[in-house]
Amino acid sequence: MNNPLTFRPATDSDCRLVWTWANDPALLAHTFRTHEPIPWETHQKWYKTTLLGTTRHLYIAEHDGLPAGYVRFEDNHLGEPEISVYLAPPCRGRHLSAPLINDGTRHHLLLHPDPRPMTAWVRIENAPSLAAFRSAGWHPDPAPAPYLALPAYRFVFPS
């Protein structure tokens, strides 16, 4: 399997799909900001701003020509460039997490070079994401730290 995923910028037509993914209970259980479903109107406003691509970049990952998830990049409240990822349920368990994380990061950095280390913050109880970033070879800080008032591990891209 050479490159199981391809990446493209999110478009207007992806808005409802991304909203559905954002409201996946598995994702909401591990977010830092909310555990409640996101209202459609709130998502539409956020999504419109996202597509401008000035402070946030969103890419749709595709596998075999079908949407498989997303990678999103933006500076966090600490001023670090941060990745957020989502892998759709039909694609889980297919060894696509590491390519989603690493190939998505490389794709983004080709389009938007940034000399700062790319980071990810993962809540300590989010075992699937902790395993995914470790499997992808990202380097975790030795101990968890508070991130938005929740204990989390900070990972850094192995550039």
Whole-model pTM: value is: 0.93
Q: Please report, for residues 35, 59, 87, 103, the alpha-carbon distance to residue 68 in angstroms, rounded to integers and kept in the order given.
A: 22, 11, 6, 13
Domains and CATH numbers, the chain: 6-121 (3.40.630.30)
* pLDDT tens-digit readout, 71-90: 999 999 999 999 999 999 99
Q: Please answer whether residues 88 and 100 qualify as being in contact, where contact means their C-beta atoms are separated by less than 8 angstroms.
A: no
pLDDT per position in the chain (159 positions), as tens?
456 899 999 999 999 999 999 999 999 989 998 889 999 999 999 999 999 988 899 999 999 999 999 999 999 999 999 999 999 999 999 999 999 999 999 999 999 999 999 999 999 999 999 999 999 999 999 999 999 999 999 999 986
